[in-house]
Amino acid sequence: MTRDEVQNVRSLSLPPRPGRLRSPLRVVELSMDTLDLLEGGPADTVVLPLWSDERPLSGMGALIDWRACGQLSSNLRRGLTTGARGESTLTLTRGLASAWRMVLIGLGPRGGLDRAGAAAAGAYLYDVTTRLGARKVALGVPSGRRDPTLPLVLVESLFERLGADALAAEDPRSAPVWWAIAEPELLPYLKAIAEGRSAPG
């Protein structure tokens, strides 16, 4: 990712506050072992943004589909979820012992999402999961292969809301925690967002 590509992505730092132990956003590399880390682990909800024109699925969606014996692909074929922009679908998971439910958030077609839309998607997926009462969430960050700034803007918008909740909580340890699970090339930029640093150039 070049400096020009990330110039519009800024890191939102959280001011120091006594008792705030860690950032509410953790960053995890997407790999074949990722779902094994979730088995019996800390997540209660998986949030998976979907492109409407990406078939077959890629990234974390492909891993979950594989572990769930084609559950996602079957839902897509039957039209139960389409990935249309603004769509949200709640489903139970199969094959993930701890993350028993999954929220699918439609992003629309890849070419139809700009930075403003990515920021809105980050806010929307956070609002949806908050209404569900999710406390520990694993987010499958969308692929950055076509435009790496879009997933960063989405996560930054999410982090802004997470940070506000963490600062407002009487006990910061009770605030929701999210794990951003992403491709290796996005990790340095996502970690900068989560740590309140400037994005590397």
Angle ∠(83,11,172) on CA atoms, nearest 5? 85
Please give the domain boundaries of the chain with CATH numbers for all domains: 22-195 (3.40.220.10)
Query: In whole angstroms, what is the distance from residue 142 CA to residue 109 CA?
Result: 12
For residue 18, whether the previous peptide bond is cis, meaning omega lies within 30 degrees of 0, is: no
The pLDDT value recorded for residue 11 is: 46
The pLDDT value recorded for residue 41 is: 63
Q: Can you give the pLDDT of all 201 residues of the chain as single tens digits?
A: 555 554 555 544 444 444 444 688 989 999 887 776 665 566 889 999 999 988 888 888 988 888 888 888 998 999 989 999 999 999 887 766 667 789 999 999 988 999 999 999 999 999 999 999 998 899 999 988 778 899 999 999 999 998 888 788 777 677 788 999 999 999 999 999 998 776 665
Phi-psi region of 114 (alpha: psi -120 to 50; beta: other; left: phi over 0): beta
Cα 15 from chain centroid (whole Å): 23
The pLDDT value recorded for residue 171 is: 77
The pLDDT value recorded for residue 200 is: 66
Q: Could you give the percent of the chain with pLDDT greater than 90?
A: 45
Count CA within 13 A, CB hemisphere, residue 187: 9
Beta strands at 88-92 and 136-140: parallel, antiparallel or unpaired: unpaired
pTM for the full predicted model: 0.85
The pLDDT value recorded for residue 142 is: 92
139 C-beta neighbours (distance < 10 Å), count: 29
